[in-house]
A and B are shown apart, each in its own frame.
Chain A
Amino acid sequence: MTTHAMRALASAIALTLCTALGAATQERPAPAAPSSDLDRAQAAFQAGRHAEALASARRAADAAPTSVRALTARAGMAEFMGEFDEAQTFYDRAAGLAPDDAETIYRTASFTVRVGEYDRALTQLDRLLALHPRHVRWLFQWAPTRFQAALLRDHPSLERIVQIKLDILTEKGDLEQARRLARAHAIVQPGQNYCAQARARAGAERDEVFKAFRLATLGQPDAADCIWWYGQWLSDEGYVRLGRLMVIEGSRATASPANKESGARYVRIRLGGNREVPKRAEQLFLIARQRYLRDGDINGASRLFDESIRLAPAFARPYNYRAMIAADLGDREGAMAWLQRALRADPDSWRTHRNLGRLFETLERYPEAEMHLRKTVQLFGDDAGGRLALARVLYAQGKYDDFAKEARAAVAFLANWRAPVPEVRDFLAKFDRWGPGAALPPAPDPHVIMGWNYD
């Protein structure tokens, strides 16, 4: 090896040693010594040690089976970790001990919405409302809109009731009634440009973006593009059910036939079409994803993904994540099997074809990679990253003319999105000048279009 390779090697070794040795010898932080399991649970949760937090909460609830706080803490922690049966059990126990505790009722209602049991949630909200004085209830139900903002400010639990009801109505697909309710309780105000506010929050904290788009959907029924963006944003976040509803609503609201057609296609290739995904399955998937990506909890995540698949066998996303986990563990054949299952569950899943194509490419099974990547760009023609992956696979097979065509199309598309991919341009320039080279072309995957980036 000559000089500069050796120099780079030296740097790489130094870097690798520093990183690897640093990680291997990293001392675990000294555990805090809170006074109780409940405190320990809270401390662990705040430190991001979620499994430990749940374990502490379990011990706390076991040690104090009549403590509403301990039972609710365990239920909340279990809910957070996707252990829904356990959460249900302990919310019920807490409610049994304190049937009129507003916080317990609210949290139970919120959990019940999370698992899609809307009628039960509405019953709990009625109980929560009943805890308020008669005149407050009367005002809440009958006072003109101009009094509502002050009323909700003075009685935050009333706003919680409204917000949960809005969620229920929206998730059940009754957007009209949700909008009426939002207007009636002054959640949205006439004349506000919520859509502009939401767009201005692009890149902000997830909760902020979520709330802003939600207001736009409720307050500006004619803002088709905004509602559509909300749907695509939700799709990237993993909320496939609500995302589907919003894209359908955006397609309905738009006057453009092309946009209507595009919306229908998006729902079909990105959100599983009309395949049933129960709320519980979707939420398990979302939490499993967090447990895997955020916590690195392979076993816990796998179990939740499997449960999601059991509840929604046609839901492609959890299969794709199981494939990702298999690949993460070095089991490429296992990854392949999961992706094949995903494709059987949803043959039009753009993401599954894309992942399969990329996996075949890493295995140097180029004809199969080409087949799936061609399907990928056929399903979504603006998928520049998929097109560059296809171009690379074509190049690897010596199909140079096809490579150049696909790569140029992707580069031109990305230029319009201010994603210049200079490494691809450079490669193409050399290819044009000197013909095929020995290295495969780069295939970056820039995230340029909201709604197509994450599962």
Chain B
Amino acid sequence: MTDHTAVVLLLGVALALAPATIDAGTYRSVDEQGNVTYSDRPPQPEQTRAPAPEATPVPEGKVPDDARPALGAKARDVKAPAPPTAIARTGPTKVDELLELSGARAQLVGLLSGLAGELRPAPGQMSAKDQASVDRILRQALRHEAVFALVRDAFLLQVDRTNLEATAAWLRSPLARKIVALEIASSEPGTEQKVAAYAATIKTNPPTNRRVELLQRLDWATAGTEISADLVAAVSRGITMAVSGAGPAEQQLRPGQIEDRVAQVRARANGALREAHMASTLYTYHGLEDEELAAYVLFSASEAGRWYNSAMRKAMVSALGRAVEQTAAELVRAVPVDRWARATTAAPQPVK
């Protein structure tokens, strides 16, 4: 659960508990009244409400008074999205419950939406037929429920019961729920503009040294920037593998060559991420008091926090890598590589 990293970001919001017995082929739906149902068929868009994808004010009454953090002026100014509903405990924490608490599902929605946006060629660069194929594939292959199932499967391999319970206890705390809500809000489309606007304000009203140090320490404790770079590398790997695999055998890249390219992309991404890290985290957590941020850092640096970050990192990288590889493979099957090349040539994207 950190701001800017998909993984830690994925640590947040307490949502309704999904039983761990659900397998990858089971779909969970939440209706407008908040009723949860399970089915072996994917829910139709109008039936589904992604867990807390929209920023909404915190319903004051839902947070017990004794657990509510003392909010300072900055915090009161923030319209925090709704944290997941508190989950009744009836036994050991399930992995699904932990992932719900962490906000993984909600943040995956934003992540996949952004990813699909990046993979989709600009309008007019492809024929209408190709564009329709791409849109269809992106809708199907990057469904957040399917990718979430991959995350959960990969996470299950990392489970450590003691640390899982300690993490769940933290995530159930009001402060963690507040943090997750902020992170979810920060993962939504359109945040980039908000960060830019916020960055402009901190030029005249710079953060305190303590705040800067807390955020640096948070990144140190969670490896947030590293995880983001890992995710970028996973996406790059998936695309490269798919595109290479679609070509003639003599032109296909060896795994080692692919890794070399991925390493280059990762190095470039890492530089960009480090540059942007401070502004982004200042924005994400500007609704927290220093003491609250310090508590977050403390948890992240604990054994449980380190376990959680490590497990989520592996799960996210694995899941996203697989999802992107499959998606990219479908995309180049539906729209041959040369037509993609023409589209990207026609509309070059800035490489920063």
Contacts and interface: CB of A to CB of B under 8 A. Distances in A.
Interface of A: 1-26, 296, 298, 327-330, 430, 434-439
A4 B310 contact: no
A2 B11 CA distance: 13
Nearest to B232: A12
Given A5-B273, A14-B351, A25-B338, A20 B231 contact: no
14 contacts: A2-B191, A3-B4, A4-B195, A4-B275, A7-B272, A9-B114, A9-B231, A12-B235, A12-B269, A18-B349, A20-B261, A329-B255, A330-B255, A439-B226
Contacts of A6: 111, 114, 118, 191-192
A3 B240 contact: no
Contact of A8 (B221, B223, B228, B261): B228
B92 interface: no
A24 B255 contact: no
Nearest to B188: A2
Interface in B215-241: 216-217, 220-223, 226, 228-229, 231-233, 235-236, 239-240
Contacts of B337: 21, 24-25
Given A2-B9, A9-B235, A20 B240 contact: yes
A5 B344 contact: no
B341 interface: yes
Contact of B351 (A11, A26, A327, A430): A11
Interface of B is mostly: helix
A195 B33 CA distance: 86
Interface stretch (B76-84, B139-147, B242-250): B242-250
A89 to B, nearest CB: 30
Contacts of B115: 9, 13
Given A24-B251, A329-B254, A438-B306, A4 B280 contact: yes
B279 interface: yes
Contacts of A25: 337-338, 341
A41 B216 CA distance: 60
Contact of A434 (B217, B261, B306, B352): B217
Interface in B303-350: 306, 309-310, 337-338, 340-341, 344, 348-350
A84 B164 CA distance: 62
A102 B209 CA distance: 80
B196 to A, nearest CB: 8
Contacts of B272: 4, 7-8, 11
Given A11-B352, A13-B118, A16-B240, A329 B256 contact: yes
B151 to A, nearest CB: 13
B197 to A, nearest CB: 11
A1 B236 contact: no
Given A10-B118, A13-B236, A20-B239, A4 B4 contact: yes
A434 B219 CA distance: 11
Interface string B16-40: 0000000000000000000000000
Contacts of B301: 434-437
Contacts of A434: 217, 220-221, 301
B136 interface: no
Q: Tell me the dominant secondary structure on chain A's binding face.
A: helix
B110 interface: yes
Contacts of B231: 1, 5, 9
Nearest to B276: A4
B279 A15 contact: no
Given A11-B351, A16-B265, A438-B221, A328 B255 contact: yes
Contact of A438 (B194, B222, B344): B222
A2 B243 contact: no
B11 to A, nearest CB: 13
B246 A8 contact: no
A14 B349 contact: yes
A4 B183 CA distance: 13
Interface in B107-156: 107, 110-111, 114-115, 118-119
Interface of B: 3-6, 9, 107, 110-111, 114-115, 118-119, 183, 186-187, 191-192, 194-195, 216-217, 220-223, 226, 228-229, 231-233, 235-236, 239-240, 243-244, 246-247, 251, 253-257, 261, 265-266, 268-269, 272-273, 275-277, 279-280, 283-284, 300-301, 306, 309-310, 337-338, 340-341, 344, 348-352
Given A11-B268, A12-B268, A20 B244 contact: yes
Nearest to A20: B243
A355 B107 CA distance: 39
A21 B276 contact: no
* Interface pairs A-B: 7 shortest CB-CB: A4-B276, A328-B256, A330-B255, A14-B349, A438-B223, A439-B223, A5-B228
A4, A327, A329, A436 pick with most chain B CB within 10 angstroms: A4
Contact of A19 (B217, B261, B300, B349): B261
Nearest to A364: B314
A92 B248 CA distance: 41
A20 B195 CA distance: 31
Given A2-B187, A5-B5, A11 B350 contact: yes
B261 A3 contact: no
Contact of B280 (A3, A328, A329): A3
Given A2-B284, A8-B272, A24 B351 contact: no
Contacts of A4: 4, 195, 228, 272-273, 275-277, 279-280
Contacts of B107: 1
Give the residue among A1, A3, A19, A20 with the most B Cβ atoms within 10 A: A1
Contacts of A11: 268-269, 272, 349-352
A426 B69 CA distance: 34
A8 B273 contact: yes
> Chain A CB within 10 Å — which of B216, B233, B247 has the most?
B247
B56 to A, nearest CB: 19
Chain A CB within 10 A, most for which of B235, B246, B269: B269
B255 A5 contact: no
Given A1-B231, A2-B284, A20-B244, A8 B236 contact: no
Contacts of A327: 256
Given A12-B233, A329-B254, 15 more contacts: A1-B110, A2-B280, A3-B186, A4-B195, A8-B229, A13-B118, A14-B349, A15-B268, A17-B349, A21-B341, A23-B251, A24-B247, A24-B337, A328-B257, A329-B255
Contacts of B340: 17, 21
A291 to B, nearest CB: 14
Given A8-B276, A9-B232, A22 B192 contact: no
A438 B220 contact: yes
Contacts of B350: 11, 14
A24 B104 CA distance: 35
Contacts of B268: 11-12, 15
A13 B239 contact: yes
A7 B220 contact: no
A362 to B, nearest CB: 10
Contacts of A19: 240, 261
B152 to A, nearest CB: 18
Given A8-B232, A24-B244, A25-B337, A15 B191 contact: no
A18 B348 contact: yes
A8 B240 contact: no
